[in-house]
Amino acid sequence: MEFNVAIVGYTAGVCSAICQFPQAYKVFKTKDTHSISLGMYLTMTIGVILWFTYGVLIEDMPMMLANGVGLVPCLYTLYLTIQNRRAHKTYGK
């Protein structure tokens, strides 16, 4: 595979891995999940878990790493969104 094509793939992987951190940080700071879609976070978390599993099955380290790293903040945001829905407390309002 040409070098620049691989660069596009790896950069995409880095973006996908790190994109969850700013949202998890914002939710951690504000405890406000009011405008976050629970449907999105459920589907996305399942997707990240499946991509991680797929990476393990096809022994693709970058895929395992990107999704393994991204799963942690994803689960945190999902957890807090579920907590808030249950408690109907919209922090930071």
Give the nearest distance from C-beta 6 to its own copies in angstroms. Answer: 9
Q: Is 34 helix (H, G, I), strand (E, B) or coil?
A: coil
Touching its own copies, residues 71-90 (CB under 8 A): none
Q: How far is the CB of 91 from its own copies (least distance, A)?
A: 9
Amino acid at 74: C
Task: Specify the residue for token string 């878990």.
Answer: 49
Binding mask 15-54 for its own copies (x = CB under 8 A): xx-xxxxxx-xxx--x-xxxxxxxxx--xx-xx--xx-xx
Tell which residue, 59, 54, 53, 70, has the closest CA to residue 12.
70
CA distance 33 to 35: 6
Structure tokens belonging to residue 10: 């790896």
The footprint of its own copies (CB under 8 A) covers 1, 5, 8-9, 11-16, 18-23, 25-27, 30, 32-40, 43-44, 46-47, 50-51, 53-54, 57-58, 92-93
